[in-house]
């Protein structure tokens, strides 16, 4: 079995003033996803909005530059993740397709292991 990180991306603006019931429906979808896939889940969390992000980069002189904001500005921002265990990529994709994502999508990436 391998581990995969399922990154959940979405348009944060869609959640600033959601239509009535949208957030409740999404949270219920995540609850159901967690129950259905408990055996494969190794962890997961929602993230605070990108306005709370702080980025750290190494500047040209080798010093660190710390700035407010996300690493990259995009329409869709990383909003959360699940760490799952699956037999292969096809199984990880099958899990990912069950994640509620009303205003975005997911990215599935294998975890690199070092021996």
Residues with Cβ within 8 Å of 43's Cβ and at least 6 positions away in sequence, in order, are 82, 83
Average pLDDT, the chain: 91
Under 8 Å between Cβ of 6 and 84: yes
pLDDT at position 14 over 80 = yes
Share of the chain above pLDDT 70, in %: 99
Extract the tokens encoding 33. Answer: 């996803």
The pLDDT assigned to 3 comes to: 96
Handedness of CA 68, 71, 73, 79 (dihedral sign): negative
Q: Does residue 97 register a pLDDT over 90?
A: yes
Residue 92 pLDDT > 90: yes
Superfamily of domain 2-110: Dimeric alpha+beta barrel (3.30.70.1060)
> How does pLDDT run across 21-57, given as a tens digit for each residue?
988 999 999 999 999 999 999 999 999 988 888 988 8
Task: Please give the pLDDT value at position 41.
Answer: 97
For residue 19, pLDDT over 90 is answered with: no
Q: pTM of this prediction?
A: 0.85
- Which pLDDT score is estimated for 50? 87
* For the chain, domain boundaries: 2-110
């Amino acid at each position: 079995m391998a581990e995969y990180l399922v990154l959940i991306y979405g348009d944060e603006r869609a959640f600033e003033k959601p239509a009535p019931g949208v957030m409740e429906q999404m949270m219920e979808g995540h609850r159901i996803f967690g129950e259905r896939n408990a055996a494969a889940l190794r962890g997961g969390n929602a993230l605070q909005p990108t306005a709370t992000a702080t980025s750290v980069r190494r500047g040209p002189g080798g010093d660190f530059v710390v700035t407010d904001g996300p690493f990259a500005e995009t329409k869709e921002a990383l909003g959360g993740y699940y760490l799952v265990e699956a037999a292969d990529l096809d199984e990880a994709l099958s899990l990912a397709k069950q994640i509620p994502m009303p205003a975005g999508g997911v990215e599935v990436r294998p975890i690199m292991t070092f021996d």
